[in-house]
Structure 1
């Protein structure tokens, strides 16, 4: 929190000719304004919280991407198995057609 020596502030204003009542009002208003100003500690706390938030956000994003990659790898593995099944079925069908054609051709 910002600290302000209001008595010293009033005395300095009075020393340069500002009436006492006016100097007190100046000190009160300045105290209110200083209460709303961010301090170094406030900014440091905000920095720490912001760094924590960014680290958490990045961690969540990485976890999401990792999950998507795992899902894609599973899909690719499934497609590989499906392609292998079709390849073997086509190979068997072609082999059967060739054997049938050779068997029924005139010698």
Structure 2
């Protein structure tokens, strides 16, 4: 049950972030669910590998390179999901930040 609620929270976060950030398009609710699932998959399996490989540059940039990894995950999700498009680096960065904030706020009610 908790997994379904977290999926709904992520879907809502995708929809909210796509409506706030110019340059991000999501075709509909079904596409938002698919984006939430793909981002969850990428963040579970691909992100840790990238973070380990990028550890030296992350240390040099005092952790700011994690934002670049986050943007890369969003670009990869946009590449994999039809109906989800991100126009540029700044749009992907703000999309990720807003999605994180919305997910965190809504997740507080779950715990």
- TM bucket (normalised to shorter chain) is under 0.3
Q: Relative contact order (C-alpha < 8 Å, sep 6+): which is higher?
A: 2
Taking structure 1 as the reference length, the TM-score comes to 0.27
Please tell me whether Structure 1 or Structure 2 has the larger radius of gyration of its CA atoms.
Answer: 1
Name whichever structure is richer in helix by fraction.
1
Taking structure 2 as the reference length, the TM-score comes to 0.26
Name whichever structure is richer in strand by fraction.
2
